[in-house]
Amino acid sequence: METFQSLLAKKLSEALANAGLPAAGELTPASDPRFGDYQTNAALVLGKQRGENPRALAEQIVAQFEAGDACELLVVAGAGFINFTLRPEAVAQKTMELLRDDRLGVAETRSPRRIVIDFGSPNVAKPMHVGHIRSTVLGDALARIAQFLGHDVIRDNHIGDWGTQFGMVIYGWKNLLDRGALQRNPLAEIVRIYKETNQRANDHPTVREACRQELVRLQAGDKENNDIWNECVALSMQDFEHVYKLLDVHYDLQCGESFYHDRLPGVVERLLQSGIAEISEGAVVVFFPDDPELADRPLIIRKRDGGFNYATTDLATVDYRVNDLKADSIWYVVGAPQTLHFKQIFQIARREGYATDLCHIVFGSILGEDRKLMKTRSGENVPLRDLLEEACKRARKIIEEKNPQLSEDEKTDIAEKIGIGAVKYADLSQYRMTDYIFSWEKMLSLHGNTAPYLQNAYVRIRSIFRKAGEAAIATSLGGVGKKTGHRPVATELTLTHPAEINLAKRLCQFAEVVPQVMNDFRPNILTNYLFELANSFHTFYEACPVLKSDEPARSSRLALCDLSARVLQRGLGLLGIKVPERM
């Protein structure tokens, strides 16, 4: 199904060619709807390139533009912008097509790719904390949207389950473990023994050496140490899974760093043989002499003592994803501090000849009310599990006040949808590079650009249909045997009121917005659209009676309500946010 934007872009291209002008500029939704629905800066761009008057060029383009049934008005405005206004009849027809389409007009890509998305990546023996929100929520949303667009997506949780910290954990396990505390709160006890061991290691060199020996035994395959490590991993994964269940986040793979352990010697040998790596002062190192940014930042892939590090693991991971998983693209949803590291890894991969698209999707930080990194009063990272449970608790309190007659199960279910949705939306509605302040009051508000505001718009629509009754819905949507699945389809839309036309135009833009998210990995484009859609719906709802209006307006308006609910539900679903039927 062709969108208005792609249709007008084609017609613009034809008009430019007919006017003897090259392709230039772009066609976008109008920045101010008072001047039209779409606009192009083609004449401005050409005017600058050719040293000609942009307004005169715009007039030439308009003279060659074949508007057909789509546009009722083309206006040259300002310095040379061309504004396009859609015909209400064309909008009604397009909206009818959306009502019949389960995909709501969003086309699947013509060039599907296999994409491995690396996101989340917590460390074993440590609870997930507030800093994991951005990678987990952003990665999940991008995975959902990419999959909806027709890509073959593999979600990979690259668990930090190997490394020097396990020497301390194993020492603590053998010498400091409280089994009762481990049963009550496994991760808290593992963190306690790690911290206490770390303090002892700082104070006593003999403890530090003992920890190192425990790590050596683990790496050599010692059964006792391996059993302790396996139990730590299992207990950590249980805690992670509780968080992922709350977040409704799923992974296809959860290959920890340990998965690649046996591949590391081969990585080093391969890079040495190809000349990409060399031995320097006893270590195996990759240098980047041709890159000014990395020239003085060599990457060690095998230490002097023969040990490997996470750079070696990351190179083995690239190899596995390219050769075993057959990835066309690998997206790393990882914070900004790792930028230089990934530049090094990607450069090595390119020097090895990998043609796979490698992309580091960077994001900013979550700040507390004091505008500093969010911490507990004791200075610790805020546990993510605690934060999510607090979100559900606060949402439930709001529900108790607004709708106390709901059953306990309903209150629990709705509180989870609102609380978790609020946390996700607060993150995804920001441009990913922006640091943002975490505010319970703001994110749980029923007003403004929040998940509860959008969920409430959906609930309001559902209440309209509950009042109308099922028989009335079938009649008003023209359900004379015409169905898409189980959904009755309207036979005709009548758009006369400006609020109706505006809402229908907004609904038609969904298919234009969803693919744009992938251009720079920006789910906030979708959140902004959904917020504007909810605003347009509320304006329509206030201006246009639905159930009390006469036919054919009643049927038409019910159809607009139905489509609005579907777009809100689908759009929020692509962000990993559920909608309740009541609030």
Domain ranges of the chain: 4-86, 114-153+253-361, 165-247, 384-443, 451-574
pLDDT for 561 equals 96
Closest CA to 569 of 520, 522, 510, 512: 510
383 three-state secondary structure: strand
Tokens of 377: 């009063």
Q: What does the alpha-carbon distance between residue 229 and residue 161 come to, in Å, rounded to a whole number?
A: 9
Q: What does the alpha-carbon distance between residue 395 and residue 566 come to, in Å, rounded to a whole number?
A: 24
The reply to whether domains 4-86 and 451-574 share a CATH topology is no
CA angle, corner 149, sides to 458 and 418, nearest 5?
30
Helix-, strand-, coil-residue percentages of the chain, each rounded to 5: 55, 10, 35
Which helix or strand (DSSP H or E) is residue 157 part of? none
Cβ of 271: how many Cβ atoms within 10 Å? 22
> Would you tell me which CATH number, out of the four given (3.30.1360.70, 3.40.50.300, 3.40.50.2000, 3.30.70.20), belongs to the domain 4-86?
3.30.1360.70
pLDDT for 452 equals 96
Sign of CA dihedral 271, 273, 274, 278: positive
Cis peptide before 186 (omega within 30 of 0): no
Q: What is the pTM assigned to this prediction?
A: 0.92
Sign of CA dihedral 77, 80, 81, 83: positive
Residues 6+ apart with CB under 8 A from 300: 283, 284, 285, 309, 311
| CATH assignment, 114-153+253-361 | 3.40.50.620
Which helix or strand (DSSP H or E) is residue 283 part of? strand 283-286
Query: Which amino acid is residue 264, in one-letter code?
Result: L
Q: pLDDT 10s per residue in the chain (583 long)?
A: 899 999 999 999 999 999 999 999 999 999 888 889 999 999 999 999 999 999 999 999 999 999 888 998 889 998 999 999 999 999 999 999 999 999 999 999 999 999 999 999 999 988 898 889 999 999 999 999 999 999 999 999 999 998 888 999 999 999 999 999 999 999 999 999 999 999 999 999 999 999 999 988 998 889 999 999 999 999 999 999 999 999 999 999 999 999 999 999 999 999 999 999 999 999 999 999 999 999 999 999 999 988 898 899 999 999 999 999 999 999 999 999 999 999 999 999 999 999 999 999 999 999 988 888 876 666 677 889 999 999 999 999 999 998 899 999 999 999 999 999 999 999 999 999 999 999 999 999 999 999 999 999 999 999 999 988 854 554 444 443 333 344 444 567 889 999 999 999 999 999 999 999 999 999 999 999 999 999 999 999 999 999 998 888 999 999 999 999 999 999 999 999 999 998 8
Are residues 404 and 411 in contact, defined by beta-carbon separation less than 8 angstroms? no
Closest CA to 138 of 574, 478, 582, 540: 574
83 three-state secondary structure: strand
151 three-state secondary structure: coil
Using N-to-C axis directions, what is the helix angle for 132-148 and 223-247, rounded to 10°? 70
| CATH assignment, 451-574 | 1.10.730.10
Length of the chain: 583
| Residue found under tokens 């307004």 | 55
